[in-house]
C-alpha cells in the first residue's frame, strides 16, 4: 500500500464508532485495526493538549473488550482514578472533544457525568472505585435490578487500604460484581509494596507466557453457562497457582479469580470477562498490560511511561515542547537534597508520587532514606509519626489534595504527639487542567484547625528554600509547606521583616494592609500600584507562616484603615478567617475583607483562566480594594461581587 493510500485509510474504522454498539459489531480483525487507530488518535491528540497518555495506551484492548461484553450505560463501568478513561470516552462517542481535552470548556481528563450518561463517578483519587462498586451492586440487588457492575482498578490502586476494605465487604455481600485488575506494574511510578512484588512474580515467571495461552484456550473452549462453567475456570486457575505463583490472597477473601490474561489480547480479555459476567458473584479478572503500550517513547520512559505530560509533547521523542523553566517542584527537590546532605536525620516519604513531587531526587542520592509507601496517605502520615518517634525528621511529600485523606492521622497520630514531621504539599491552590478533585484548595482550611500545626506558604524560590529549612528545624510539632504547580516567578525581595512577616511594599499613607498569601505576592504588588493610582496607600505583606496567625500581622493590621487578604485556598476557614478571628481576639476593630476561592467545585482550565473566573486577578482585586476603601471615606462604592461563599452565608 502506498503512503497516500495508507493515509487515506487511516482512522476509517474509528470514524464509524459512535457508541459501544459499533464496537460490538466488529470482527476480530477489525478490532485489531481499531485498536491501532485508537492509539494513533490518542498520540496525535494528547501530544497537542497534554494528558495521561501512558495509562490510556495500556488499556485500549481492555476497554474495547469491556464495551463488547457489557452494555453501558445500563451496566456500570467504573474506572478507578479515571485517568485511564480516554478510550472509554472515544468508544462512547466523544472523539470530537479531544481537540480540547483538559482545556477550558472541553473534555475533562477524567470521567464526567455532564459529558455522558456512560460516566458515573468523577472523583480522580485512587482506590475508591471498589467501594463505589460495592454500594452499587448492593443497591441493584436490593432494588431487584439485573445490572452488571464492573470496576477497573490498577495494581497501583491496590496498594491503597481502601481497596482492601472494599474487597472484604464485596466478598461478604457476595453480589455479582466484576473487578478488573489492570496490572501494569506501575501507578504514577513503579508500583511498590508486598502486593506489587506478588504480582510482579507472576509477570516475571518463565512460565507466564505459556499460562496466558493456556487460559486463553481454556476460556475460548468453555461453554459460558453459570457455575458449572466456572468450576472449569476455577480448576484452570488452580493450575495457574501451582505453576506460576500463589494467588490465594484473592481466593482467601472469598472472591473468585480469573487470570492472568494478556490485557492486549482482545479475544482473551473478552472471554475472561464473559466468564466473569456469567458467574453470579464477585470475580476478579487479572489482566496484565503494559503502560504506554505501542508508543516507543512511553515504553522507554522507565520513570513513569509518559504517565501524564503536563503540556504538548513531541510525538517522535515524547519530550515536552515548552521551553524548560524552573518549577516549584524542582526548587523543593534541590533544596531537600541540600538539607539532607547536612542532616542525616532527614528522611523522605511519598505515596506513589516520587517523581511528580520531586522526592525521587532524594531517593536517587539516598535510597535508604526514602520510603514510597504506595497509594496510602494515611499510612504515610502515621509511619512518619513512627519515624519521628524514632529520632528522625520525616518530610512527607504529596499533592495537597491527597493529604486530605490523612486528616485524622495528622491530627491525632502526629500533632497530638507534637511530633516533628514536615508535610510538603505540591500542587496547592488552583492547579488547572486536572479539575476539581485535583485542586489543592482545602488544605489551609482543613489543617488549619490542627493544634500546634504550622503552615508556611512561600511566595517564590528563595522563600521556598528558606521556609523548608525553617520547617525541618521545628522539633516540637508538625509543619506544612505548601506551593502551587508550574513555573516559579522571579524572586520578590522584602523591604523588611517584622517578626516572621515580610513587608513587600509600603506607602506614605496607611490606608490598606494587603495580605498576599504565598504565590500571590506578585499579584499583591500589582494591586498596590493600581490602587495607588487612585490616591490610596497600600502596604503589601507576605505572612510567610500563615498558621498560627503571627501576632506581628495583627499589629500591622491595627495600623491600617482596611485589611484585605487574598489567597488561593477556600475562604471558609482560610487565612482571612483566621486573621479576622485573631483581630477580634486582640480587639483590633479594623474592617477586613477576604478574597479567595469559593468552597465549590470549579471546572478544569488553566490556572490563569480559573483565577480570572474567580475574580482573583490584579485588575479585579484592585477594583474591589479601591471600592472598599473609598466606601470608608463615604465615596461611591464599586459593586462588590457575591461569591458562592457569600451567598451561602446570607442564606
Residue 284's beta-bridge partner residues?
A: 179, 257
Give the range among 16-20, 239-243, 602-606 with minimum mean pLDDT. Answer: 239-243
Q: Which CATH architecture has domain 328-482?
A: 3-Layer(aba) Sandwich (3.40)
Confidence (pLDDT) at 233: 36
124 known ligand binder: yes
Q: Beta 538-542 vs 501-505: how paired, if at all?
A: antiparallel
All CATH 3.40.50.920 domain ranges in the chain, comma separated: 498-650
Percentage, residues of the chain above pLDDT 90: 60
377 known ligand binder: yes
Q: Which CATH architecture has domain 498-650?
A: 3-Layer(aba) Sandwich (3.40)
Residue 516's beta-bridge partner residues?
A: 566
197 known ligand binder: no
Confidence (pLDDT) at 248: 65
Mean pLDDT, the chain, integer? 85
Residue 582 C-beta-side C-alpha neighbours within 13 Å: 21
pLDDT tens figures, 618-638:
999 999 999 999 999 864 433
Q: Is 158 exposed, middle or buried (0-12, 13-18, 19+ CB in 10 A)?
A: buried
Segment 559-577 mean pLDDT: 96
pLDDT tens figures, 445-499:
999 999 999 999 999 999 999 999 999 999 999 999 999 998 999 999 999 999 9
Three-class secondary structure of residue 225 per DSSP: coil
- More confident site: 31 or 128: 31
- In which residue are the cell numbers 458449572 written? 228
Asked if residue 387 lies in contact with residue 379, where contact means CB atoms within 8 angstroms, the answer is no
Convert 555-576 to b/e letters by CB count within 10 Å (16 or more is b).
ebbeebbbbbbbbbbbbbbbbb
Q: How far apart are CA 555 and CA 587, in angstroms?
A: 11
pLDDT over 60 at 245, yes or no: no
245 known ligand binder: no
pLDDT over 50 at 116, yes or no: yes
pLDDT tens figures, 394-453:
999 999 999 999 999 999 999 999 999 999 999 999 987 777 788 889 999 999 999 999
125 known ligand binder: yes
Q: Is 377 a catalytic residue?
A: yes
Q: How far apart are CA 152 and CA 76, in angstroms?
A: 11
Confidence (pLDDT) at 217: 55
Q: Is 405 a catalytic residue?
A: yes
Q: How far apart are CA 254 and CA 273, in angstroms?
A: 19
Confidence (pLDDT) at 292: 86
Select the highest-mean-pLDDT range: 117-121, 253-257, 308-312, 525-529. Answer: 525-529
Confidence (pLDDT) at 240: 37
pLDDT over 80 at 247, yes or no: no
Confidence (pLDDT) at 475: 97
Q: How far apart are CA 358 and CA 480, in angstroms?
A: 16
pLDDT over 50 at 242, yes or no: no
Nearest to 444 by CA among 592, 328, 548: 548
Split at pLDDT 50, 70, 90, the class of 243 is very low
DSSP string of 290-305?
-TTTT-HHHHH-TTTT
DSSP string of 593-614?
EEEEE-SS-PPPS-HHHHHHHT
C-alpha distance across the termini of the chain, in Å = 69
Indicate which residue of 61, 377, 467, 470 is catalytic: 377
205 known ligand binder: no
pLDDT over 50 at 596, yes or no: yes
Q: How far apart are CA 475 and CA 463, in angstroms?
A: 20
114 known ligand binder: no
Q: Is 291 a catalytic residue?
A: yes
Asked if residue 174 lies in contact with residue 141, where contact means CB atoms within 8 angstroms, the answer is no
List strand residue ranges (DSSP E) for 318-407, in order: 346-350, 370-372, 393-399
Split at pLDDT 50, 70, 90, the class of 551 is very high
Select the highest-mean-pLDDT range: 23-27, 277-281, 390-394. Answer: 390-394
pLDDT over 60 at 260, yes or no: yes
Indicate which residue of 39, 290, 327, 405 is catalytic: 405
489 known ligand binder: no
CATH of domain 3-300: 3.40.50.970
Q: Is 432 left (phi over 0), alpha (psi -120 to 50) or beta?
A: left
Indicate which residue of 237, 290, 291, 607 is catalytic: 291
Nearest to 600 by CA among 588, 589, 613: 613
All CATH 3.40.50.970 domain ranges in the chain, comma separated: 3-300, 328-482
Q: Please say whether the dihedral angle defined by the alpha carbons of residues 165, 401, 547 and 469, taken in this order, is positive or negative.
A: positive
Q: Looking at residue 309, what DSSP letter applies? A: -
Confidence (pLDDT) at 214: 52
Amino acid at each position: 500500500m502506498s503512503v497516500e493510500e495508507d493515509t487515506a485509510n487511516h482512522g476509517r474504522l474509528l470514524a464509524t464508532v459512535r457508541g459501544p454498539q459499533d464496537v460490538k459489531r466488529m470482527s476480530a480483525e477489525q478490532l485489531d485495526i481499531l485498536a491501532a487507530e485508537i492509539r494513533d488518535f490518542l498520540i496525535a491528540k494528547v501530544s497537542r493538549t497534554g494528558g495521561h497518555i501512558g495509562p490510556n495506551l495500556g488499556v485500549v484492548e481492555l476497554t474495547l473488550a469491556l464495551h463488547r461484553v457489557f452494555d453501558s450505560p445500563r451496566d456500570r463501568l467504573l474506572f478507578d482514578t479515571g485517568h485511564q478513561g480516554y478510550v472509554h470516552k472515544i468508544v462512547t462517542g466523544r472523539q470530537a472533544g479531544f481537540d480540547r481535552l483538559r482545556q477550558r470548556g472541553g473534555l475533562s481528563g477524567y470521567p464526567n457525568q455532564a459529558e455522558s450518561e456512560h460516566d458515573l463517578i468523577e472523583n480522580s483519587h485512587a482506590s475508591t472505585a471498589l467501594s463505589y462498586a460495592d454500594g452499587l451492586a448492593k443497591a441493584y440487588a436490593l432494588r431487584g435490578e439485573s445490572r452488571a457492575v464492573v470496576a477497573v482498578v490498577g495494581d497501583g490502586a491496590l496498594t491503597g487500604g481502601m481497596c482492601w476494605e472494599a474487597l472484604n465487604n464485596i466478598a461478604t455481600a457476595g453480589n455479582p460484581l466484576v473487578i478488573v485488575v489492570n496490572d501494569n506494574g506501575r501507578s504514577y511510578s513503579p508500583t511498590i509494596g508486598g502486593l506489587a512484588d506478588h504480582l510482579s512474580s507472576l509477570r516475571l515467571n518463565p512460565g507466564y507466557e505459556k499460562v496466558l495461552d493456556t487460559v486463553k484456550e481454556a476460556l475460548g473452549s468453555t461453554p459460558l453457562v453459570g457455575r458449572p462453567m466456572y468450576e472449569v475456570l476455577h480448576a484452570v486457575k488452580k493450575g495457574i497457582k501451582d505453576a506460576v505463583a500463589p494467588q490465594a490472597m484473592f481466593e482467601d477473601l472469598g472472591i473468585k479469580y480469573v487470570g492472568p490474561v494478556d490485557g492486549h489480547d482482545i479475544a482473551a480479555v473478552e472471554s475472561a470477562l464473559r466468564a466473569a459476567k456469567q458467574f453470579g458473584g464477585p470475580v476478579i479478572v487479572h489482566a496484565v498490560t503494559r503502560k504506554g503500550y505501542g508508543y516507543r517513547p512511553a515504553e522507554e520512559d522507565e520513570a513513569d511511561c509518559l504517565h501524564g505530560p503536563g503540556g504538548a509533547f513531541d510525538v517522535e521523542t515524547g519530550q515536552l515542547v515548552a521551553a524548560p523553566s524552573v518549577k516549584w517542584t524542582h526548587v523543593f527537590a534541590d533544596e531537600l537534597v541540600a538539607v539532607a546532605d547536612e542532616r542525616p536525620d532527614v528522611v523522605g516519604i511519598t505515596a506513589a508520587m516520587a517523581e511528580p513531587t520531586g522526592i525521587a531526587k532524594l531517593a536517587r542520592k539516598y535510597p535508604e532514606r526514602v520510603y514510597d509507601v504506595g497509594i496510602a496517605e494515611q499510612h504515610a502520615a502515621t509511619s512518619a509519626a513512627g519515624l519521628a518517634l524514632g529520632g528522625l525528621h520525616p518530610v512527607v511529600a504529596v499533592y495537597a489534595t491527597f493529604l486530605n485523606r490523612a486528616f485524622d492521622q495528622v491530627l491525632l497520630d502526629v500533632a497530638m504527639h507534637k511530633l516533628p514531621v514536615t508535610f510538603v504539599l505540591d500542587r496547592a491552590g488552583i492547579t488547572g487542567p486536572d479539575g476539581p478533585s485535583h485542586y489543592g484548595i482545602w488544605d489551609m482550611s482543613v489543617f488549619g484547625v490542627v493544634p500546634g500545626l504550622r503552615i508556611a506558604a512561600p511566595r517564590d524560590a528563595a522563600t521556598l528554600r528558606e521556609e523548608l529549612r525553617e520547617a525541618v528545624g521545628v522539633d516540637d510539632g508538625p509543619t506544612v509547606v505548601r506551593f502551587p504547580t508550574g513555573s516559579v516567578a522571579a524572586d520578590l525581595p522584602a523591604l523588611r521583616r517584622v517578626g516572621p512577616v515580610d513587608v513587600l511594599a509600603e506607602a506614605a499613607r496607611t490606608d490598606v494592609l494587603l495580605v498576599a498569601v504565598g504565590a500571590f505576592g506578585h499579584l499583591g504588588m500589582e494591586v498596590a500600584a493600581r490602587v495607588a493610582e487612585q490616591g490610596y496607600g497600600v502596604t503589601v505583606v507576605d505572612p510567610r507562616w500563615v498558621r498560627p496567625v503571627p501576632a506581628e500581622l495583627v499589629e500591622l493590621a491595627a495600623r491600617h484603615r482596611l485589611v484585605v487578604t487574598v489567597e488561593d485556598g477556600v475562604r471558609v476557614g482560610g487565612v482571612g478567617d483566621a486573621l479576622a478571628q485573631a483581630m477580634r481576639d486582640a480587639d483590633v476593630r479594623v474592617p477586613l475583607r477576604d478574597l479567595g476561592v469559593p468552597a465549590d467545585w470549579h471546572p478544569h482550565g488553566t490556572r490563569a483562566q480559573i483565577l480570572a473566573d474567580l475574580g482573583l486577578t490584579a485588575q479585579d482585586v484592585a477594583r474591589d480594594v479601591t471600592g472598599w476603601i473609598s466606601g470608608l471615606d463615604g465615596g461611591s462604592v464599586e459593586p462588590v461581587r457575591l461569591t458562592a461563599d457569600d451567598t451561602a452565608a446570607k442564606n
